[in-house]
Structure 1
Amino acid sequence: MAKGFEIKFDKGWEKAIQNAAAGAVQDEIRRTQATLDRIFNQYNGQPVSTIKPVLLREWRRGGGTMSDGEATDWAELISSGQRIVLKQG
């Protein structure tokens, strides 16, 4: 039977790991916001049926997933001229 093991970090390493993770989240938010802004600028005011497939395609391209309901909700916002703003939190 394999023995378990435990990894412990001192407080300095723990803080460094948390900071790196927070930085990665902020980077992803910036990339995603840029994508949303590009879609908004190009498609705001257009029909949901035009915007929704664009959102789904962009999310897949970025390696993410978006439900059909989320895509519909976000497409409705963009169609009505509302910019989506992401916040960490």
Structure 2
Amino acid sequence: MRSSMAKGFEIKFNKGWEKDILKAAQKGVEDEVRKSQALLDRLLDRYKGQPVSTVKPVLLSEWRRSGGSMTDAEATDWATLISQGTRIELRL
């Protein structure tokens, strides 16, 4: 498959290119899930037993620093689980 974007510029797509892109995207998602899981596990180790009011701002700060976002309600729910010593398990 060929696509011509501009005069003198051509992109060639090899057979199976869609599969290659999906495979690369899947790996990227899996890497992000691993990093996020490690972050949540670190927070659990450090903050279990601490009040939600202590856990929540740290959770939000660390989550945002890693490029994530969550609603206030999600942050409260997750901070509550961490405070209670419950492991949050991310799945694909």
Which bin holds the TM-score, normalised by the shorter protein?
A: 0.7 to 0.9
The SS at the match of 1:72 is helix
Name the structure with the higher strand share.
2
Q: CA deviation at 1:11?
A: 5.2
Runs (4+) off by over 3 Å: 7-11
Tell me, yes or no, if structure 1 residue 76 matches structure 2 residue 80: yes
Q: Which residue of 1 aligns with 2:23?
A: 19
Residues 7-55 of structure 1: CA deviation (Å, up to 9, x unaligned): 9956511100000000000000000000000000000111000000011
In the superposition, the TM-score normalised over structure 1's length comes to: 0.85
Segments of structure 1 that go 5 or more residues without pairing to the other structure are none
Cα root mean square deviation, aligned: 1.6
Report 1 or 2 for greater relative contact order, CA contacts < 8 Å, sequence distance ≥ 6: 1
- Structure 2 distance, partners of 1:86, 1:36, is 9
Segments of structure 2 that go 5 or more residues without pairing to the other structure are 6-10
Residues 33-88 of structure 1: CA deviation (Å, up to 9, x unaligned): 00000000000111000000011001111122111100000011111110101000
Q: Which residue of 2 aligns with 1:63?
A: 67
Of all paired residues, the percent bearing the same amino acid is 64
- Structure 2 distance, partners of 1:10, 1:87, is 32
In the superposition, the TM-score normalised over structure 2's length comes to: 0.82
